Amino acid sequence: MIRNPIDVASRVSPRLSELLESRVNDPDCEQPVTLSTVRRFLADLLPAEFKEAERMHHFDVSESLLDELDALIEEFGRSALAIDFVQINVSEQLSRVIEAVINDENRENPPTLAVVKDEIVAGLGARLVGEGVLDEDEDDTLMSEIETLIEHFGADTPAEGLLRYE
């Protein structure tokens, strides 16, 4: 199956993203999970009276999720991979690391996820703990988180676009 080259997850509501992620991570679910398999799952959760009147406008959360899913299927196709539509939220700790790499005045180009990983390997997390930017236990998960992002988005993805602002 072909992965979508654009960041389609940014166009998905947080509730639908959570549903898609739960289906993708469900070990009992058929792999690969597509938009159509998630739609079948969601439609099966609706009461029978809603299934019969599915084409009518509803204001219930389940129907709005179904409508949103239908719009994605119409635009991207039934066989689009659900994982592509799951929103990835970068932790606050990794955001601090990314900001530190971005703010490095010796850097000429905007950092990619691979560059951030290289900086973590080179000890940036420990340095930020020493500077008080991160708490001692906050650098423990940085490597697994950056590797997950690289797996999802690719090593050459600009890191700045994934910053989490609160």
- What is the per-residue pLDDT for 30? 73
35 burial type by CB count under 10 A (0-12 exposed, 13-18 middle, 19+ buried): buried
- What is the per-residue pLDDT for 48? 61
Least confident interval from 39-48, 67-76, 90-99, 114-123: 39-48
Mean of all residue pLDDT scores within the chain:
82
Question: What pTM, to 2 d.p., does this model score?
Answer: 0.61
Locate the domains of the chain by residue range.
8-85, 92-162
Segment 138-147 shows an average pLDDT of 87
